[in-house]
Structure 1
């Protein structure tokens, strides 16, 4: 079993540097192209199903990927939604950081909560698709910090449309195999 995490393609708010959290912003043209590019990275990975966050940008990306891989689009998981930016929603990131250093305050969801949701989502997906290879389309913060938790170090960034893979070792433990379409450097 392996899980391939794909960050949704670019939206206008990504382009503008806005915190979009739970706002339902659609993909832009670049985002649709990034989703198509992700198909090339995922090709040959023997994927069984594509699932996603229920937010439009993730579902649109997932549909493009499912179509490109010749798979039916699977379910969405509420646990995979982006970090709740509360009062920071829609703000330019620099403005939010000035107002709430480290994005702490203003009702912004703590990173510990994001990681806990990410881990619960992984458990649910593994339960729903035992032994299957699942491509999971969701959001940058949940991917970055959940996979950082698995890796044991903080990943710098997760690019729009990029692929990260968690695979199982012989003992059944999940390990990070790919980040931003590349094998991660040893740390």
Structure 2
């Protein structure tokens, strides 16, 4: 039975606009992010969706609620495993400072990428089991989505290769194994 999950990256936050590492810091959407979520909903409105999930973080929930309102889809089911990677003491730093302080090495207190991939795959499996044969929207985060795209595409896209835009959509399909149908699609925010 084919199940489709569209992984949607949340809209922009003030920290995204300032290129700061957010990770598990719970930052809300800004006005641009809300407009991006509405634009994504307009794009997603062209197809049928059966269920709506989101990470437990406010920026993902708010994006999902905006999409759900436009698509008359809800309620939003939250899943802790869809949360962004915890970046430890690098949260709040810009990328240049992160590399200046830690280089390519580990960041103190940061969640290991293997753990991010593991819990992301657990989230996909839980969504698939709960919604067999359906089309599901799941609002999550750039790091987590890229980690999943990397696993599913065997490294062709994903972490280190793909910069996911805010409110981008990424469709994966289960037909016995996961496949990436498309990734990083966006609509222009109104």
Q: Which runs of 5+ in 1 are unaligned?
A: 183-187
Q: CA deviation at 1:20?
A: 0.7
8 Å CA contact 2:65–2:76 kept in 1: the answer is: no
Which residue is 1:99 aligned to? 101
Distance in 2, Cα, partners of 1:22 & 1:160: 17
Q: Deviations over 1:63-113 (max 9, x none)?
A: 001111111122100001100011111111211122122362312112111
Which residue is 2:174 aligned to? 168
Query: Any idea what SS the aligned residue of 2:171 has?
Result: strand
Alignment of 1:57-96 (within 5 A): 57-96=59-98
8 Å CA contact 1:19–1:92 kept in 2: the answer is: yes
Query: Any idea what SS the aligned residue of 2:125 has?
Result: helix
Which residue is 1:128 aligned to? 130
Query: Any idea what SS the aligned residue of 2:184 has?
Result: coil
After alignment, is 58-67 or 32-41 more displaced? 32-41
Distance in 2, Cα, partners of 1:95 & 1:120: 32
Distance in 2, Cα, partners of 1:51 & 1:3: 10
Which runs of at least 4 in structure 1 moved beyond 3 Å after TM superposition? none
Q: Which runs of 5+ in 2 are unaligned?
A: none
Distance in 1, Cα, partners of 2:48 & 2:174: 15
Query: Any idea what SS the aligned residue of 2:92 has?
Result: coil
Aligned residues: 180
TM-score (normalizing by structure 2):
0.90
Q: Deviations over 1:29-69 (max 9, x none)?
A: 11001101111221232100111001000000000011111
Alignment of 1:141-156 (within 5 A): 141-153=143-155, 154-155=157-158, 156=162
8 Å CA contact 1:10–1:160 kept in 2: the answer is: yes
Cα-Cα RMSD: 1.4
Which residue is 1:185 aligned to? none
TM-score (normalizing by structure 1):
0.91
Which residue is 2:21 aligned to? 19
8 Å CA contact 1:41–1:163 kept in 2: the answer is: no
Residues 103 and 62 of structure 1, relative CA distance in 2, 3 Å threshold = farther
Which residue is 2:164 aligned to? 158
